[in-house]
Structure 1
């Protein structure tokens, strides 16, 4: 069957609900937090804030993020169909797999959001910011699209981290202040490493379907055991770096505390990997959830800590940004609590035709 042909589904195609499912709106919290993260780092360094540039940055982040979702749904359709045990966070939205919408809807939506991103890029103030934005969109597009298909050649994990948690905050900071601080570079490196580790977990959940269609992710190249060791080393080195920088006075203490407070999420994921959690749908959902949440928890915690550090130094951030940052944090906290409670209840059994139930031993144990 051609990757562009819809499969049969049990629900009527073309609905708004199906389109929202295709868009995977829940992941937009990630790019919202990344934007706030970069803006806060710029505010911490310069003391200034521009609402107009924040809104443009957020619009660009969301349009590019949606573009990536639509692009991935279309070009990953064969792998998603081959995936025997998708989770709530991996394996695609299942909208195209279940025939709820035509694949051409996803591709057309990818182009629409791509053009929206170009329009916002044209409004950026300097050649450096425009060039960075174009590079960001190109890497996001070719994450799954031919001819590069970066996530099919063991480059997807690094590309995703570089685009979302590297270039994203840097672009937000440059649009605010026009310069980059050493603190921004460390904090960006911190979340980039976390995102690489998170992407390894996401691709581990999809490993069976990926291997069936010849999709060579870094996770499939490493295998579960080596991936688990790399995840443990990465988490250890990262938080050791936080301690060293804080002890040397290069990282504000309140920021170090906020970043260290997110370490238990990684420890939970590591423990789950070592006990074979990825072979059972409910536990795999829990693992991918907390691997995903470590990122926005870290960006949110760091953002609040940076604002607190400014207050402790008697140079508080501009009131409009404080209000936006606090509002963003509250919305994220509400969403996280709601999603965590739903995750604890576990996924509802899927009775749709052609969706096999996960069985013990389906995947190689970590």
Structure 2
């Protein structure tokens, strides 16, 4: 919802118009493609997930296949169903550029772990994931709206793309031991712990220096820059964990991977709201339907984040396994594990 909303908000900020039907189609495409990727990853990453001795709540797969709760063929079949839904929605897109972009997006998402490319096994997964989810995703959402593209969209997309590369480095850092056992050569595995920490630190520093420079040059609205800079402490927390050896302890590794993941949606939501406020202050508020949807998306995320943060505070066993409460509780949402 946020990746799609991010692109639509940038298009609305550019053109002032909003199309509900194209938003719904884009959202359906994003959901089906994202589900396809997770089901595909579960199947093709099964060997690596089985070899992973210390999965966190955010890495190492959902453990559904590893624990034998479902047959691997169920995951692969589900991936194909989601793929066919995405293809059908792609056929309904209005222009050749949007259809080509959607096809490219699905292809990169599928071959993230699927043979023959297996991009995440060749140190290309981090960049591929960022390009698909936070580059091509918002771009497609914007192209399907009346406002179209703008320099602001490209700058903001670049910011979240960099954050996604850094986030994927941390996710693959957590899975490094199991990945190496099965020959999965992620960028994190190729770099090793020390260089991953250095690259993460440099990436965060360059990113936020760039935000300041763009704001000073007038390329980023002031409120957008403030919203993005306000999320920097999440990256600092992750960096402190890397430098303090937190990834060697399951409980602390869980917290590091959690905040590495949360920096992205926090930045995305903050940017969305800042863009809407910027429009209102200019005297050209966004269309009311989009304000309602964007605010609703942010509220949904805030509720999910609160619930997930509470779950993450549950005690852990010696092996890092999250203990369950005595009373029945909702199943923990763990889509990001894949």
- Distance in 1 (CA, whole Å) between partners of 2:91 and 2:76 is 23
- Distance in 2 (CA, whole Å) between partners of 1:281 and 1:295 is 22
- Distance in 1 (CA, whole Å) between partners of 2:318 and 2:139 is 42
DSSP 3-state at the match of 1:177: coil
- Which structure has more relative contact order (CA 8 Å, sep 6+)? It is 2
Shift of 1:350: 6.9
Flag structure 2 segments of 5+ consecutive residues without an equivalent: 322-338
Equivalence for 2:199: 230
Aligned with 1:79 (options 48, 51, 58): 48
Shift of 1:341: 1.7
Aligned with 1:172 (options 141, 160, 166): 141
Equivalence for 2:113: 144
- Distance in 2 (CA, whole Å) between partners of 1:265 and 1:108 is 37
DSSP 3-state at the match of 1:176: coil
Aligned with 1:189 (options 158, 176, 200): 158
DSSP 3-state at the match of 2:66: coil
Question: What is the TM-score when the length of structure 1 is the normalising length?
Answer: 0.86
Equivalence for 1:156: 125
Shift of 1:180: 1.0
> Structure 1 residues 347, 174: CA separation in 2 closer, same or farther (over 3 Å shift)?
farther
1:272 counterpart = 2:241: yes
- Distance in 2 (CA, whole Å) between partners of 1:284 and 1:200 is 13
User: Residues 1-366 of structure 1: matches in 2 within 5 Å?
Assistant: 32-177=1-146, 179-347=148-316
Contact 2:56 2:320 in 1 (8 A): no
- Distance in 2 (CA, whole Å) between partners of 1:156 and 1:278 is 20
- Distance in 2 (CA, whole Å) between partners of 1:246 and 1:189 is 14
Shift of 1:250: 1.3
> Structure 1 residues 351, 237: CA separation in 2 closer, same or farther (over 3 Å shift)?
closer
Q: Encode CA deviations 1:156-181: one digit per residue, 9 max, x unaligned.
A: 00000000000000000000126310
DSSP 3-state at the match of 1:180: coil
Equivalence for 1:360: none
* Count of matched residue pairs: 321
- Distance in 2 (CA, whole Å) between partners of 1:238 and 1:175 is 28
Q: Encode CA deviations 1:201-223: one digit per residue, 9 max, x unaligned.
A: 00000000000000000000000
Q: Compute the RMSD of aligned alpha carbons.
A: 1.2
- Distance in 2 (CA, whole Å) between partners of 1:346 and 1:141 is 36
- Distance in 1 (CA, whole Å) between partners of 2:62 and 2:16 is 41
